[in-house]
Chains A and B, each alone.
Chain A
Amino acid sequence: MNEKIHVKTKINDNDVEFLCEARQSLLEVLRDVLDMTGTKEGCNDGNCGACTVILDGQIVDSCLVLAVEVSGKTITTIEGIAGVDKLHPIQQAFLEQAALQCGICTPGFIVASKALLDREPNVSEGRIRHWLAGNLCRCTGYDKIVRAVMAAQENTK
Protein backbone atom coordinates (compact mmCIF):
# COMPACT_ATOMS: atom_id res chain seq x y z
CA MET A 1 0.00 0.00 0.00
CA ASN A 2 2.92 2.33 0.54
CA GLU A 3 4.13 2.01 -3.01
CA LYS A 4 4.71 5.47 -4.40
CA ILE A 5 2.81 6.76 -7.38
CA HIS A 6 4.27 9.07 -10.01
CA VAL A 7 2.14 12.15 -10.71
CA LYS A 8 2.64 14.81 -13.38
CA THR A 9 0.80 18.08 -12.94
CA LYS A 10 1.09 21.82 -13.48
CA ILE A 11 1.55 24.09 -10.49
CA ASN A 12 1.76 27.88 -10.91
CA ASP A 13 2.52 27.51 -14.63
CA ASN A 14 5.38 25.06 -14.04
CA ASP A 15 5.32 21.41 -15.03
CA VAL A 16 5.80 19.48 -11.81
CA GLU A 17 6.35 15.77 -11.16
CA PHE A 18 6.28 14.12 -7.79
CA LEU A 19 6.04 10.77 -6.05
CA CYS A 20 3.36 10.25 -3.44
CA GLU A 21 1.46 7.60 -1.55
CA ALA A 22 -2.12 6.97 -2.64
CA ARG A 23 -3.41 8.13 0.75
CA GLN A 24 -1.61 11.50 0.68
CA SER A 25 -3.59 14.69 0.22
CA LEU A 26 -2.59 17.41 -2.19
CA LEU A 27 -1.97 19.57 0.87
CA GLU A 28 0.50 17.07 2.31
CA VAL A 29 2.34 16.81 -0.99
CA LEU A 30 2.48 20.57 -1.51
CA ARG A 31 3.93 21.15 1.94
CA ASP A 32 5.95 18.02 2.73
CA VAL A 33 7.06 16.76 -0.70
CA LEU A 34 7.30 19.93 -2.77
CA ASP A 35 8.27 22.28 0.12
CA MET A 36 5.58 24.73 -0.94
CA THR A 37 4.62 25.74 2.58
CA GLY A 38 2.60 28.84 1.63
CA THR A 39 -0.55 26.70 1.62
CA LYS A 40 -1.51 26.22 5.27
CA GLU A 41 -3.04 23.33 7.15
CA GLY A 42 -5.80 24.36 9.52
CA CYS A 43 -8.44 21.75 10.24
CA ASN A 44 -7.48 19.11 7.64
CA ASP A 45 -11.14 18.20 7.19
CA GLY A 46 -12.57 20.79 4.83
CA ASN A 47 -13.99 23.28 7.29
CA CYS A 48 -11.48 26.13 7.48
CA GLY A 49 -10.28 26.87 3.95
CA ALA A 50 -6.68 27.63 5.01
CA CYS A 51 -5.45 25.13 2.41
CA THR A 52 -7.45 26.62 -0.49
CA VAL A 53 -5.86 26.25 -3.93
CA ILE A 54 -7.28 26.73 -7.42
CA LEU A 55 -7.67 23.40 -9.22
CA ASP A 56 -8.65 23.64 -12.90
CA GLY A 57 -10.25 27.02 -12.26
CA GLN A 58 -12.20 26.07 -9.13
CA ILE A 59 -11.24 26.73 -5.54
CA VAL A 60 -10.90 23.56 -3.49
CA ASP A 61 -9.65 22.59 -0.06
CA SER A 62 -6.37 20.83 -0.88
CA CYS A 63 -6.75 18.69 2.26
CA LEU A 64 -9.78 17.07 0.59
CA VAL A 65 -8.05 16.32 -2.70
CA LEU A 66 -5.87 13.25 -3.02
CA ALA A 67 -2.54 14.12 -4.60
CA VAL A 68 -3.01 11.34 -7.17
CA GLU A 69 -6.16 13.11 -8.35
CA VAL A 70 -4.24 16.11 -9.72
CA SER A 71 -2.52 14.15 -12.48
CA GLY A 72 -2.87 16.23 -15.66
CA LYS A 73 -4.56 19.12 -13.84
CA THR A 74 -3.61 22.77 -13.37
CA ILE A 75 -3.10 24.15 -9.88
CA THR A 76 -2.54 27.67 -8.57
CA THR A 77 -1.27 28.07 -5.02
CA ILE A 78 -0.51 31.20 -2.99
CA GLU A 79 3.05 31.05 -4.36
CA GLY A 80 1.66 31.67 -7.84
CA ILE A 81 -0.44 34.72 -7.03
CA ALA A 82 2.15 37.54 -6.98
CA GLY A 83 3.69 39.03 -10.12
CA VAL A 84 7.40 38.72 -10.91
CA ASP A 85 8.47 41.79 -8.98
CA LYS A 86 5.34 42.97 -7.22
CA LEU A 87 2.50 41.75 -5.09
CA HIS A 88 -0.89 40.93 -6.54
CA PRO A 89 -3.39 43.77 -5.92
CA ILE A 90 -5.23 41.54 -3.45
CA GLN A 91 -2.03 40.91 -1.48
CA GLN A 92 -1.25 44.65 -1.56
CA ALA A 93 -4.74 45.44 -0.32
CA PHE A 94 -4.46 42.89 2.52
CA LEU A 95 -1.29 44.71 3.63
CA GLU A 96 -2.74 48.20 3.31
CA GLN A 97 -5.99 47.30 5.06
CA ALA A 98 -4.19 45.29 7.75
CA ALA A 99 -6.48 42.37 6.85
CA LEU A 100 -4.55 39.81 8.85
CA GLN A 101 -3.28 39.15 12.31
CA CYS A 102 -1.76 35.73 12.86
CA GLY A 103 -1.72 35.07 9.11
CA ILE A 104 -2.51 31.36 9.02
CA CYS A 105 -5.78 31.86 7.16
CA THR A 106 -4.41 34.57 4.85
CA PRO A 107 -3.10 32.44 1.95
CA GLY A 108 -6.46 30.68 1.72
CA PHE A 109 -8.36 33.97 1.77
CA ILE A 110 -6.12 35.49 -0.91
CA VAL A 111 -6.37 32.48 -3.22
CA ALA A 112 -10.16 32.30 -2.78
CA SER A 113 -10.51 36.05 -3.33
CA LYS A 114 -8.39 35.94 -6.48
CA ALA A 115 -10.60 33.19 -7.92
CA LEU A 116 -13.66 35.32 -7.18
CA LEU A 117 -12.33 38.55 -8.72
CA ASP A 118 -11.05 36.65 -11.76
CA ARG A 119 -14.50 35.30 -12.52
CA GLU A 120 -16.65 38.18 -11.27
CA PRO A 121 -14.92 41.56 -11.58
CA ASN A 122 -17.80 43.58 -10.06
CA VAL A 123 -18.80 41.85 -6.86
CA SER A 124 -20.87 43.20 -3.99
CA GLU A 125 -19.84 43.02 -0.38
CA GLY A 126 -22.54 40.38 0.16
CA ARG A 127 -21.15 38.23 -2.63
CA ILE A 128 -17.63 38.51 -1.20
CA ARG A 129 -18.88 37.45 2.22
CA HIS A 130 -20.80 34.52 0.75
CA TRP A 131 -17.86 33.42 -1.43
CA LEU A 132 -15.50 33.55 1.54
CA ALA A 133 -17.84 31.63 3.88
CA GLY A 134 -15.61 28.58 3.41
CA ASN A 135 -12.60 30.43 4.83
CA LEU A 136 -12.42 30.83 8.58
CA CYS A 137 -10.46 33.54 10.38
CA ARG A 138 -10.29 33.55 14.15
CA CYS A 139 -8.49 36.90 14.48
CA THR A 140 -9.88 39.69 12.35
CA GLY A 141 -13.64 39.35 12.55
CA TYR A 142 -13.65 39.36 8.71
CA ASP A 143 -14.45 43.05 8.19
CA LYS A 144 -10.90 44.00 7.30
CA ILE A 145 -10.63 41.04 4.95
CA VAL A 146 -13.81 41.98 3.13
CA ARG A 147 -12.66 45.62 2.94
CA ALA A 148 -9.34 44.50 1.47
CA VAL A 149 -11.05 42.46 -1.25
CA MET A 150 -13.29 45.42 -2.09
CA ALA A 151 -10.25 47.73 -2.21
CA ALA A 152 -8.41 45.27 -4.45
CA GLN A 153 -11.39 45.24 -6.75
CA GLU A 154 -11.32 49.05 -6.99
CA ASN A 155 -7.56 49.09 -7.53
CA THR A 156 -7.69 46.66 -10.43
CA LYS A 157 -10.30 48.70 -12.35
Chain B
Amino acid sequence: MDSYGSKAKALAGGTDILVQLRGNRFDIEMLVDVKSIPELNELSYTVSEGLSVGAAVPCIRIYEDSVVQQSYPCLVDAAFLIGGIQIQSRATIGGNLCNASPSGDTIPALIALEAEAVVFSKRGYRSIPVEDFCVGPGQNGLQDGELLVSIKFPPPKLYSGAHFLRFIPRNEMDIAVANVGVALTLDSKKQTVESARIALGAVGPTPLLATKASEFLVGKEISDDSLYETAEIAKQIASPITDMRGTINQRIHLVGVLTRRALQKAVERAKGV
Protein backbone atom coordinates (compact mmCIF):
# COMPACT_ATOMS: atom_id res chain seq x y z
CA MET B 1 0.00 0.00 0.00
CA ASP B 2 2.94 2.22 0.75
CA SER B 3 4.44 1.85 -2.73
CA TYR B 4 1.13 2.45 -4.52
CA GLY B 5 0.14 5.42 -2.35
CA SER B 6 -3.13 6.98 -3.51
CA LYS B 7 -3.43 4.28 -6.19
CA ALA B 8 -4.02 1.61 -3.53
CA LYS B 9 -7.06 0.87 -1.41
CA ALA B 10 -7.76 -1.70 1.27
CA LEU B 11 -10.38 -4.40 0.70
CA ALA B 12 -12.16 -5.65 3.81
CA GLY B 13 -15.77 -6.80 3.38
CA GLY B 14 -15.92 -5.29 -0.09
CA THR B 15 -19.62 -4.47 0.15
CA ASP B 16 -19.02 -0.83 -0.71
CA ILE B 17 -15.72 -0.73 -2.51
CA LEU B 18 -16.42 -3.44 -5.09
CA VAL B 19 -19.61 -1.66 -6.14
CA GLN B 20 -17.77 1.67 -6.24
CA LEU B 21 -14.91 0.24 -8.30
CA ARG B 22 -17.36 -1.20 -10.83
CA GLY B 23 -18.86 2.28 -11.05
CA ASN B 24 -15.36 3.70 -11.70
CA ARG B 25 -15.59 5.89 -8.63
CA PHE B 26 -11.88 5.51 -7.85
CA ASP B 27 -8.84 5.47 -10.08
CA ILE B 28 -6.71 2.83 -8.38
CA GLU B 29 -4.21 0.23 -9.47
CA MET B 30 -4.04 -1.99 -6.42
CA LEU B 31 -6.69 -3.43 -4.13
CA VAL B 32 -5.14 -5.02 -1.05
CA ASP B 33 -7.16 -7.71 0.74
CA VAL B 34 -6.50 -7.05 4.42
CA LYS B 35 -8.76 -9.77 5.81
CA SER B 36 -5.96 -12.24 6.44
CA ILE B 37 -3.93 -9.85 8.62
CA PRO B 38 -4.47 -11.28 12.14
CA GLU B 39 -4.45 -7.88 13.88
CA LEU B 40 -7.31 -6.71 11.69
CA ASN B 41 -9.38 -9.76 12.64
CA GLU B 42 -9.07 -9.45 16.40
CA LEU B 43 -12.08 -8.78 18.57
CA SER B 44 -10.83 -8.40 22.12
CA TYR B 45 -11.98 -6.92 25.39
CA THR B 46 -10.30 -6.23 28.71
CA VAL B 47 -11.80 -4.47 31.72
CA SER B 48 -8.97 -1.95 31.80
CA GLU B 49 -8.51 -1.29 28.06
CA GLY B 50 -12.04 -1.73 26.79
CA LEU B 51 -12.98 -3.16 23.41
CA SER B 52 -10.85 -3.41 20.31
CA VAL B 53 -12.54 -4.30 17.03
CA GLY B 54 -10.23 -5.18 14.16
CA ALA B 55 -10.99 -3.23 11.00
CA ALA B 56 -11.80 -6.45 9.09
CA VAL B 57 -14.17 -7.99 11.65
CA PRO B 58 -17.59 -8.40 10.00
CA CYS B 59 -20.75 -6.99 11.58
CA ILE B 60 -22.23 -10.43 12.29
CA ARG B 61 -19.22 -11.34 14.45
CA ILE B 62 -19.55 -8.06 16.33
CA TYR B 63 -23.25 -8.29 17.16
CA GLU B 64 -23.12 -12.02 17.97
CA ASP B 65 -20.25 -11.52 20.43
CA SER B 66 -21.49 -11.96 24.00
CA VAL B 67 -19.16 -9.31 25.46
CA VAL B 68 -20.26 -6.76 22.88
CA GLN B 69 -23.90 -7.65 23.55
CA GLN B 70 -23.45 -7.16 27.27
CA SER B 71 -21.13 -4.15 27.43
CA TYR B 72 -21.64 -2.30 24.14
CA PRO B 73 -25.32 -2.83 23.18
CA CYS B 74 -25.23 0.41 21.19
CA LEU B 75 -22.72 -1.20 18.86
CA VAL B 76 -25.10 -4.14 18.42
CA ASP B 77 -27.92 -1.69 17.57
CA ALA B 78 -25.83 -0.27 14.75
CA ALA B 79 -24.10 -3.39 13.38
CA PHE B 80 -27.39 -5.35 13.41
CA LEU B 81 -29.22 -3.00 11.07
CA ILE B 82 -26.62 -2.68 8.33
CA GLY B 83 -27.87 -4.48 5.23
CA GLY B 84 -29.19 -8.02 5.23
CA ILE B 85 -27.42 -11.05 6.69
CA GLN B 86 -25.40 -11.50 3.48
CA ILE B 87 -24.00 -7.99 3.88
CA GLN B 88 -23.51 -8.34 7.65
CA SER B 89 -21.43 -11.47 7.01
CA ARG B 90 -18.92 -9.38 5.07
CA ALA B 91 -19.32 -5.69 5.90
CA THR B 92 -17.10 -4.29 8.64
CA ILE B 93 -17.37 -1.23 10.84
CA GLY B 94 -13.82 -0.41 9.78
CA GLY B 95 -14.99 -0.28 6.18
CA ASN B 96 -18.10 1.65 7.17
CA LEU B 97 -15.86 4.26 8.77
CA CYS B 98 -13.36 4.40 5.90
CA ASN B 99 -16.19 4.69 3.38
CA ALA B 100 -17.05 7.90 5.26
CA SER B 101 -20.59 8.10 4.00
CA PRO B 102 -22.51 10.96 5.63
CA SER B 103 -25.20 8.37 6.43
CA GLY B 104 -22.80 5.58 7.51
CA ASP B 105 -24.80 3.57 9.98
CA THR B 106 -22.23 2.71 12.59
CA ILE B 107 -20.43 6.06 12.66
CA PRO B 108 -22.73 8.03 15.01
CA ALA B 109 -22.65 5.03 17.37
CA LEU B 110 -18.84 5.01 17.26
CA ILE B 111 -18.68 8.75 17.92
CA ALA B 112 -21.12 8.49 20.83
CA LEU B 113 -19.06 5.66 22.33
CA GLU B 114 -15.86 7.76 22.15
CA ALA B 115 -14.19 5.36 19.76
CA GLU B 116 -10.72 5.94 18.36
CA ALA B 117 -9.49 4.76 14.99
CA VAL B 118 -6.07 3.10 15.24
CA VAL B 119 -4.13 3.65 12.04
CA PHE B 120 -0.83 2.11 10.93
CA SER B 121 1.71 3.12 8.32
CA LYS B 122 5.46 2.92 7.79
CA ARG B 123 5.69 5.84 10.20
CA GLY B 124 4.09 3.77 12.99
CA TYR B 125 0.73 3.89 14.76
CA ARG B 126 -1.49 6.88 15.40
CA SER B 127 -4.99 7.24 16.85
CA ILE B 128 -7.71 9.47 15.47
CA PRO B 129 -10.91 10.26 17.39
CA VAL B 130 -13.71 8.88 15.24
CA GLU B 131 -15.49 12.24 15.05
CA ASP B 132 -12.42 13.60 13.22
CA PHE B 133 -11.95 10.59 10.93
CA CYS B 134 -14.43 11.57 8.22
CA VAL B 135 -13.47 14.81 6.48
CA GLY B 136 -16.09 15.04 3.75
CA PRO B 137 -18.71 12.98 1.94
CA GLY B 138 -16.91 9.72 1.05
CA GLN B 139 -13.60 11.13 2.24
CA ASN B 140 -11.69 9.85 5.24
CA GLY B 141 -8.66 11.40 6.87
CA LEU B 142 -6.26 8.56 6.06
CA GLN B 143 -3.05 9.63 4.36
CA ASP B 144 -1.47 7.67 1.52
CA GLY B 145 0.06 4.46 2.81
CA GLU B 146 -2.06 4.45 5.98
CA LEU B 147 -4.25 1.51 6.96
CA LEU B 148 -7.05 1.44 9.52
CA VAL B 149 -6.11 -1.40 11.88
CA SER B 150 -8.77 -1.33 14.57
CA ILE B 151 -11.35 0.71 16.39
CA LYS B 152 -10.92 1.04 20.13
CA PHE B 153 -13.70 1.73 22.62
CA PRO B 154 -13.06 2.78 26.23
CA PRO B 155 -14.47 0.46 28.91
CA PRO B 156 -18.09 1.27 29.76
CA LYS B 157 -18.42 3.46 32.84
CA LEU B 158 -20.67 2.68 35.78
CA TYR B 159 -24.26 3.93 35.26
CA SER B 160 -23.67 4.51 31.56
CA GLY B 161 -25.94 3.71 28.64
CA ALA B 162 -25.96 4.25 24.90
CA HIS B 163 -28.30 3.71 21.98
CA PHE B 164 -28.35 4.06 18.22
CA LEU B 165 -31.43 4.76 16.11
CA ARG B 166 -31.94 5.12 12.39
CA PHE B 167 -34.95 6.26 10.40
CA ILE B 168 -35.63 4.57 7.08
CA PRO B 169 -38.91 4.36 5.19
CA ARG B 170 -38.76 0.55 5.09
CA ASN B 171 -38.38 -2.05 7.84
CA GLU B 172 -34.96 -3.30 6.73
CA MET B 173 -32.23 -2.75 4.21
CA ASP B 174 -32.17 0.93 3.41
CA ILE B 175 -29.95 3.98 3.70
CA ALA B 176 -30.60 6.28 6.64
CA VAL B 177 -32.70 9.40 6.18
CA ALA B 178 -31.23 10.34 9.54
CA ASN B 179 -29.47 8.41 12.29
CA VAL B 180 -28.41 9.22 15.82
CA GLY B 181 -26.06 7.67 18.36
CA VAL B 182 -26.07 8.76 21.99
CA ALA B 183 -24.15 7.75 25.08
CA LEU B 184 -24.46 9.12 28.60
CA THR B 185 -23.34 8.51 32.15
CA LEU B 186 -25.54 9.17 35.18
CA ASP B 187 -24.55 10.00 38.74
CA SER B 188 -24.74 7.31 41.42
CA LYS B 189 -28.36 8.25 42.18
CA LYS B 190 -29.13 7.71 38.49
CA GLN B 191 -30.89 11.06 38.24
CA THR B 192 -28.38 13.55 36.88
CA VAL B 193 -26.33 13.34 33.70
CA GLU B 194 -22.58 13.42 34.32
CA SER B 195 -21.42 13.10 30.73
CA ALA B 196 -23.11 12.85 27.36
CA ARG B 197 -22.21 12.44 23.71
CA ILE B 198 -24.74 12.85 20.94
CA ALA B 199 -23.79 12.16 17.33
CA LEU B 200 -25.86 12.71 14.20
CA GLY B 201 -25.67 11.12 10.76
CA ALA B 202 -27.08 11.88 7.31
CA VAL B 203 -27.65 15.53 8.21
CA GLY B 204 -24.32 17.02 7.16
CA PRO B 205 -21.30 16.33 4.94
CA THR B 206 -19.94 13.99 7.63
CA PRO B 207 -21.41 12.38 10.74
CA LEU B 208 -21.31 15.05 13.46
CA LEU B 209 -20.67 15.22 17.17
CA ALA B 210 -23.40 17.47 18.54
CA THR B 211 -21.16 19.22 21.05
CA LYS B 212 -23.58 21.92 22.17
CA ALA B 213 -26.43 19.50 22.80
CA SER B 214 -24.10 17.06 24.56
CA GLU B 215 -22.78 19.79 26.84
CA PHE B 216 -26.27 21.12 27.52
CA LEU B 217 -27.37 17.77 28.94
CA VAL B 218 -24.45 17.51 31.37
CA GLY B 219 -25.52 18.42 34.91
CA LYS B 220 -29.23 18.21 34.01
CA GLU B 221 -31.66 16.01 35.83
CA ILE B 222 -33.29 13.41 33.63
CA SER B 223 -36.79 14.52 32.69
CA ASP B 224 -38.96 14.61 29.61
CA ASP B 225 -38.26 18.34 29.40
CA SER B 226 -34.46 18.10 29.64
CA LEU B 227 -34.30 15.37 27.00
CA TYR B 228 -36.67 17.33 24.74
CA GLU B 229 -34.62 20.50 25.08
CA THR B 230 -31.41 18.61 24.36
CA ALA B 231 -32.95 17.14 21.22
CA GLU B 232 -34.05 20.61 20.11
CA ILE B 233 -30.48 21.89 20.50
CA ALA B 234 -29.14 18.90 18.55
CA LYS B 235 -31.33 20.00 15.62
CA GLN B 236 -29.40 23.28 15.40
CA ILE B 237 -26.25 21.69 13.98
CA ALA B 238 -28.09 19.61 11.40
CA SER B 239 -27.45 21.00 7.92
CA PRO B 240 -29.02 18.31 5.73
CA ILE B 241 -29.82 18.32 2.05
CA THR B 242 -33.03 17.43 0.29
CA ASP B 243 -32.68 14.33 -1.83
CA MET B 244 -34.75 11.33 -2.88
CA ARG B 245 -34.66 9.95 0.68
CA GLY B 246 -35.95 12.99 2.53
CA THR B 247 -36.26 16.74 2.70
CA ILE B 248 -34.29 19.18 4.81
CA ASN B 249 -37.27 19.78 7.09
CA GLN B 250 -38.03 16.10 7.52
CA ARG B 251 -34.42 15.34 8.38
CA ILE B 252 -34.16 18.12 10.94
CA HIS B 253 -37.43 16.97 12.50
CA LEU B 254 -36.09 13.41 12.60
CA VAL B 255 -32.94 14.53 14.41
CA GLY B 256 -35.15 15.83 17.22
CA VAL B 257 -37.30 12.70 17.41
CA LEU B 258 -34.44 10.23 17.14
CA THR B 259 -32.25 12.11 19.62
CA ARG B 260 -35.01 12.19 22.22
CA ARG B 261 -35.89 8.52 21.77
CA ALA B 262 -32.26 7.42 21.74
CA LEU B 263 -31.64 9.40 24.95
CA GLN B 264 -34.66 7.78 26.61
CA LYS B 265 -33.36 4.31 25.76
CA ALA B 266 -29.81 5.21 26.82
CA VAL B 267 -31.17 6.41 30.17
CA GLU B 268 -33.04 3.11 30.58
CA ARG B 269 -29.84 1.21 29.88
CA ALA B 270 -27.84 3.42 32.25
CA LYS B 271 -30.37 2.76 34.98
CA GLY B 272 -30.20 -0.94 34.22
CA VAL B 273 -33.93 -1.32 33.58
Q: Which residues of B have CB within 8 Å of A131?
A: 85
**A65 and B90 contact, CB distance less than 8 A:** yes
**A45 and B19 contact, CB distance less than 8 A:** yes
- Assess A64 versus B18: contact at CB under 8 Å? Given A134-B84, A134-B85: yes
The total of chain A residues at the interface (CB under 8 A) is 26
Chain B residue nearest in CB terms to A68: B33
- Assess A58 versus B15: contact at CB under 8 Å? Given A134-B85, A134-B86: no
Query: Does B14 belong to the interface (CB within 8 Å)?
Result: yes
Query: Does A145 belong to the interface (CB within 8 Å)?
Result: no
Chain A nearest CB from B57 CB (Å) reads 13
Convert B173-213 into 0s and 1s, putting 1 for each residue whose CB lies closer than 8 angstroms to a CB of A: 10000000000000000000000000000000000000000
- Assess A60 versus B86: contact at CB under 8 Å? Given A66-B11, A69-B33, A133-B173: yes
Chain B residue nearest in CB terms to A108: B86
Question: Most chain-A CB neighbours within 10 Å: which of B14, B19, B85, B89?
Answer: B85
Q: Which residues of A have CB within 8 Å of B85?
A: 59, 112, 131, 133-134
Query: Does B53 belong to the interface (CB within 8 Å)?
Result: no
Chain A nearest CB from B123 CB (Å) reads 29
Q: Which residues of A have CB within 8 Å of B19?
A: 45-46, 64
- Interface of A: prevailing SS: mixed
Query: Does A106 belong to the interface (CB within 8 Å)?
Result: no
Provide the bound-state CA to CA distance between A89 and B203, in Å: 47
Provide the bound-state CA to CA distance between A44 and B33, in Å: 20
Query: Does A61 belong to the interface (CB within 8 Å)?
Result: yes
**B173 and A58 contact, CB distance less than 8 A:** no
**B14 and A65 contact, CB distance less than 8 A:** yes
Chain A nearest CB from B42 CB (Å) reads 18
The total of chain B residues at the interface (CB under 8 A) is 22
**B90 and A64 contact, CB distance less than 8 A:** yes
Question: Most chain-B CB neighbours within 10 Å: which of A66, A69, A134?
Answer: A134
Convert A52-70 into 0s and 1s, putting 1 for each residue whose CB lies closer than 8 angstroms to a CB of B: 1001001111011110110
Beta-carbon contacts under 8 Å, A55-100 to B: 55, 58-61, 63-66, 68-69
Query: Does B25 belong to the interface (CB within 8 Å)?
Result: no
Convert B77-95 into 0s and 1s, putting 1 for each residue whose CB lies closer than 8 angstroms to a CB of A: 0000001111101100000
Q: Which residues of B have CB within 8 Å of A68?
A: 33
**A112 and B86 contact, CB distance less than 8 A:** yes
Query: Does A130 belong to the interface (CB within 8 Å)?
Result: yes
Query: Does A153 belong to the interface (CB within 8 Å)?
Result: no
Chain B residue nearest in CB terms to A58: B89
Provide the bound-state CA to CA distance between A66 and B83, in Å: 19
Q: Which residues of B have CB within 8 Å of A66?
A: 11, 14, 18, 33
Q: Which residues of A have CB within 8 Å of B35?
A: 69
Chain B nearest CB from A2 CB (Å) reads 14
Provide the bound-state CA to CA distance between A133 and B170, in Å: 11
Q: Which residues of A have CB within 8 Å of B173?
A: 47, 133-134
Provide the bound-state CA to CA distance between A154 and B58, in Å: 31
Query: Does B22 belong to the interface (CB within 8 Å)?
Result: yes
Query: Does A135 belong to the interface (CB within 8 Å)?
Result: yes
Q: Which residues of B have CB within 8 Å of A39?
A: none
Query: Does B60 belong to the interface (CB within 8 Å)?
Result: yes
Q: Which residues of A have CB within 8 Å of B31?
A: 22
Q: Which residues of B have CB within 8 Å of A112?
A: 85-86
Given A64-B13, A69-B14, 5 more contacts at CB 8 Å?
A22-B31, A44-B22, A45-B19, A52-B86, A64-B86
Which A residues lie at the B interface, using CB under 8 A? 22, 25, 44-47, 49, 52, 55, 58-61, 63-66, 68-69, 112, 130-135
